[in-house]
Structure 1
Amino acid sequence: MDTFRICIVFLVTNLGILENVNGFKNVALRKPASMNGYRDENPPSLAVDGNATTHIHTPDGPSPPVSWWEVDLLNTYYIFSVSITNRDCCNNRLKNFTVDLISGDSDPITRLCHYYPGNILKSATEVIECDELLTARKVKITMTNRHLDFAEVSIKGLHACGDLQFTLNAGVRRQDTALKQMVVGSTATCAVKCRAEIDCDAFQTMTSADSLTCQLLVGHDGNTANDNNWNYYTFQG
């Protein structure tokens, strides 16, 4: 069975779980983690130990100009969301940070998942969805001019079979008749719907004030038009 068919079978088998975001596997749990400096009693591994009562912490002293923490997922995954739980301290410390995704290629590429402008209150959990559906092997959290400390990171991901990926064509709309059209909760859900549909090779989304329209499309090619209301994704396999 070719790689494409293997991935489709996998997704069809697991679709009932994948449609519920709480059913996604936490692909960061107990994976190797690192950071650019830490106190001996607060190593980077404590952010992925599954225990929200432990926490990581940069070294004591003045706030560093840049602090970062990173987890290696050991495989390439579609990243749907990154949940960060703050420690039971310091309402105003964990704020204004960047979540980046790093590819697992021999020449790694770093892409922005999301910049979080604000603070996470003590003991609170914030679920951060990436601005676009991307794949990554590593997830990195960076903050400037502050100590970096938090309790736990949970990453909702789906294994990217082979290196199959969707390519974004922003501000473009396919004019073909859609295979299926539906309202979904996120771009990630639309992507999963396409991966599970045997005839789907591409999809496109339109965001309105209160919904996201998802259209599944057949074929990699078709008539397109510039339309800032739509984002068109082609399936690369």
Structure 2
Amino acid sequence: MEPPRTCLLLLITYLGILANVDGFRNVALGKPASMNAYRNRNPPSAAVDGNATTFIHPPGSLVDPISWWEVDLLDTYYIVSVSITNRECCDNRLRNFTIDLISDDLSASPTTRLCHFYPGTVRKSVTEIIACDDVLTARKVRVSMEDRPLDFSEVSIKGLHACGGLQFTLNPGIRRLDTALRQLIVDSTATCAVRCRVEIDCDAFQTLTSALGVTCQLLVGQNGNTVTDNTWKYYSFIV
């Protein structure tokens, strides 16, 4: 079984020309945004309206120890970069902020992973293009800053549609015994899934997590000799 060609080609393009982020569209434009607190005339949506003259702004006083703004992308994307444009008025407000990615599982406890911590100050009217530290997928992107109110003009997110998520299903308590197409050490299960989708012959994968990282075995076909083994996690491609 072969992954959908369109999704596969997009992934190969993504992994091959990651540095050329301008080739990807802004997946945040016009999407629903929210903020922990804001002035009515400066709503969260101002940061994704495509207009750098509008801006978000918190209330007159600090409401919470951490100020945050986030956008819901309404689907799962591989996040290539996050661009933040500071307001034209202020040279020292936007600094030492964190960009987090929130999974497409929007249950009571969705998974939140670090995209990048930006140490330093974004000067007025300057746009900083920030690449995530790893290849990650997300449904929501959040910008947060401690001990200071958060305000800026615009956020642009370059992303690649994840083609319906990772499209693998977990088969608990099973380990395949057949020879792996490829074995490598990666940082996460999500990265292993990406590698499987890039390999034209990969139909499943399994992972073993240790202190050294995640052992990722790419497998051919969805049938093979299996044993019960709760230390490994086996994922098969959804047909």
Give 1:77-92 correspondences, 5 Å limit.
77-92=77-92
1:26 and 1:156 in contact (8 A); partners too: yes
Q: Rg bigger for which structure?
A: 2
Distance, in Å, in 2 between the alignment partners of 1:145 and 1:100 is 17
- Cα distance change on mapping 1:131 and 1:122 into 2, 3 Å: same
Structure 2 counterpart of 1:9: 6
- CA displacement at 1:80 relative to structure 2: 1.4
Matches within 5 A, 1:30-109: 30-62=30-62, 64-107=64-107, 108-109=110-111
Q: Which residue pairs with 1:120 in the alignment?
A: 122
Q: Provide the C-alpha distance between the structure 2 equivalents of 1:119 and 1:127, rounded to a whole number of angstroms.
A: 13
Runs of 5+ in structure 2 lacking a partner?
169-179, 183-192, 219-234
What whole-Å deviation, never above 9, does each CA across 1:150-197 have from its counterpart, x for those lacking one? Answer: 01101111111232179xxxxxxxxx997xxxxxxxxxxxx9897455
Using the TM superposition, give the Cα deviation of residue 63 of structure 1 relative to its aligned residue in structure 2, in angstroms: 7.0
* SS of structure 2 residue aligned to 1:128: strand
The equivalent residue for 1:147 is 149
Return closer, same or farther for 1:70/1:106 CA change in 2, 3 Å cut-off.
closer
Unaligned runs of 5+ in 1: 167-175, 179-190, 202-218
Residues 206 and 216, structure 2, Cα contact 8 Å, conserved in 1: no
Equivalence for 1:215: none
Matching residue's letter, 2:200: I
Q: Is the 8 A contact 1:120 1:126 kept in 2?
A: yes
Q: Does the Cα contact within 8 Å between 1:80 and 1:130 map onto a contact in 2?
A: yes
Residue of structure 2 in register with 1:184 after alignment: none
Q: Secondary structure at the match of 1:132?
A: coil
Distance 1:106 1:153, change over 3 A: closer
Q: For 1:184-223, what aligned pairs fall within 5 Å after superposition? A: 195-199=197-201, 220=205
* C-alpha contact (below 8 Å) 1:135/1:165 kept by paired residues: no
Q: CA deviation at 1:13?
A: 6.4
What's the offset of the Cα at 1:220?
A: 3.8
8 A contact 1:38–1:58 mirrored in 2: yes
In structure 2, the CA distance between the partners of 1:177 and 1:162, relative to structure 1 (3 Å rule), is closer
Range with greater deviation from structure 2 (94-103 or 55-64): 55-64
Q: Assess if the C-alpha contact under 8 Å between 2:3 and 2:197 holds in 1.
A: no
**Separation (CA, whole Å) in 1 of partners of 2:73 and 2:181:** 38
Q: 1:121 to 1:58 in 2, by over 3 A?
A: same
Identity of aligned residues (%): 60
1:118 Cα offset (Å): 0.8
Q: Measured at CA, do residues 94 and 234 of structure 1 come closer, stay the same or move farther in structure 2, by a change above 3 Å?
A: farther
Following superposition, the deviation at residue 5 of structure 1 comes to: 2.2
Count of residue pairs the alignment pairs up: 197
Deviation string, structure 1 residues 44-81 (Cα, Å, up to 9, x no partner)? 00100011111111011357522110100000111111
Q: CA RMSD in A?
A: 3.5
For normalisation by structure 2, the TM-score amounts to 0.68
Which residue of 1 is the match for residue 164 of structure 2? 162
